[in-house]
Amino acid sequence: MIKNILVLFAGLLSLVYLVNPTAGVLELIPDNLPIIGNLDEAAACALILAAFRYYGIDLTSFLGRGVKGRSQSSGRKEDPGSPPS
């Protein structure tokens, strides 16, 4: 119960940070710093994705990073170049 509330709170806090109602006045890392300027937004996105995944919504599956080619009988990944067994 407490973990559910904490995950929800972290996800909502990250969403509010990304929406940024302060119009850039309140930022952890300023965006004009080269390379590291957008790391705080990337961390907030990762936190939102993790919160969704915790509740069973996997938004990363549309990127094709899910497990593909699993054999129903053996549970092993099949080689795409080999003929089906």
The DSSP bridge partners found for residue 77 are 70
- H helix runs in 1-85, sequence order: 2-19, 39-54
Per-residue pLDDT at 62: 74
**Using CA atoms, how far apart are residues 68 and 63, in angstroms rounded to an integer?**
12
| DSSP structure class, residue 78 | P
Q: What is the pLDDT of residue 84?
A: 62
Q: pLDDT tens per residue, the chain (85 residues)?
A: 899 999 999 999 999 888 876 666 777 777 778 778 788 888 889 999 999 999 988 887 777 755 555 444 555 555 566 566 5
The pLDDT, as a whole number, for residue 34 is: 79
Residue ranges per structural domain of the chain: 1-8+30-58
The pLDDT value recorded for residue 47 is: 93
